[in-house]
Amino acid sequence: MAFSNRVTTTTNQYIMPKLVDTVLNSNPLAMRLISAGKKWRGETMKFPLKYQKNTTGTSFAGFDTFSTSAIDNRVNMAFNPKFYQITVSLPLDEVSVNTLNNDEQILNLMDTQVQTSAQDMADDIGTLLYGDGTGNSNKDFTGLGAMVDDGTSVSTYGGLSRSTYTTIKSTVTASGGTLTLAKMATLYNAITSGAQKPTIGITDEATLSLYEQLLQPQERIAKDVSMMRKPGASMAEPGAAAYSIGTGATGFYYRGFPIIADEKCTSGSLFFLNEDFIQWYAVPVAKEFGGPIKYSPVEIEGNDYDKQLGLGFSWSGWIKPTNQGAIIGHVYLGGDFICTNPKRQGKLTGLTSV
């Protein structure tokens, strides 16, 4: 209703000291990987890969002669860092009015702008995580599109040809539209060997709902667990059929590991990932260009980005242009997502029904 002047001239407006985000969606896998990031080392990071057996072993008797062949069965996968930024800019007049009087300031404009922009950037990274790294003239971070491929779409990975080094092929199975437990079992078996098995399943919300339809009612037991990645620790209690990740998203178990929905995930795809071989390696920017993000916490509701956790996020600090009444800054993120064993990763594609 519209109040009369009797009210509007005698009563102040009140703005809640918090910001509600109605834009960003869930991004659990990217945040899970980045939060457990490791520091990048050197110009290029190389990971030795064994791609075939030593075949000189043989049974023998008496004075049989042995092979003296030297076996060369290792090669390096090589990766170079990539970088991403988001710009934060504010005009002098807006900053001046916002900081004029603390009694009238509801939210600090500068801190709010940095924090929300950092969250927008984290959301961008979640999108890139499902790409193949070729976007923007190969400047994008390398994502699951390149890691989890059998050579059909991405012929080389880590500088190696998948047709030459066939053990860096992932298992990719076109589902023919339907999701079944049999197809999931076949994928699981293809990428599992002994203790080397998937640690997490990632899919979109619609496909997760398809999997839920395959479960018996007694298998849908909800458990609350942290989204933080802790090496060697289970994401939920053993035996739980389903869980909810702290932030409110819900997932279900399959053969001892959780399957969760990620709104960034390629539609109709179900990934089985072994996180023991997937890592975010971060390059903190040179000190001349900034340092860790520092701002007064702003209460933001409506998304899962409570903090920009992990190694690699940096803030340039505020920069004053020489010909404008404004301040400008940049949030940086350097490094890349690296998979050292694509063979242990797999996915089903084209899922639309059960």
> What's residue 85's pLDDT?
94
> What's residue 284's pLDDT?
81
pLDDT digit string (tens) for 29-70?
A: 888 888 888 999 999 999 999 999 999 999 999 999 999 999
Q: What is the pTM of this model?
A: 0.86
Can you read off the two tokens belonging to residue 321?
């242009």
Can you read off the two tokens belonging to residue 118?
């950092």
CA distances from 94 to 103, 105, 113, 296, 324 (A): 16, 12, 12, 18, 13
Question: Between residues 13 and 238, which one has the greater pLDDT?
Answer: 13
Answer yes or no: are the C-beta atoms of 330 and 85 closer than 8 Å.
yes
> What's residue 304's pLDDT?
63
The total of other beta-carbon atoms located within 10 Å of residue 1's CB is 3
Residues ≥6 apart with Cβ < 8 Å to 10:
none
End-to-end, the C-alpha distance of the chain in Å comes to 50
**pLDDT of 316 higher than 70:** yes
pLDDT digit string (tens) for 154-208?
A: 999 999 999 999 999 999 999 989 999 999 999 999 999 999 999 999 999 999 9
Can you read off the two tokens belonging to residue 35?
């939060």
pLDDT digit string (tens) for 127-167?
A: 999 999 999 999 999 999 999 999 999 999 999 999 999 99
Q: Cα 321–325–329 angle (5° rounding)?
A: 50
The total of other beta-carbon atoms located within 10 Å of residue 280's CB is 25
Q: How confident is the model at residue 119 (pLDDT cuts 50, 70, 90)?
A: confident
Can you read off the two tokens belonging to residue 33?
């990987």
Lowest-pLDDT choice from 4-8, 137-141, 162-166, 346-350? 4-8
> What's residue 36's pLDDT?
84
Nearest to 275 by CA among 50, 28, 70, 75: 28
Answer yes or no: are the C-beta atoms of 160 and 79 closer than 8 Å.
no
Question: Between residues 69 and 288, which one has the greater pLDDT?
Answer: 69
Average pLDDT over the chain, rounded to whole? 85
Q: What is the share, in percent, of the chain residues with pLDDT greater than 70?
A: 81
pLDDT digit string (tens) for 59-113?
A: 999 999 999 999 999 999 999 999 999 999 999 999 898 888 777 777 888 888 8
**pLDDT of 236 higher than 80:** no
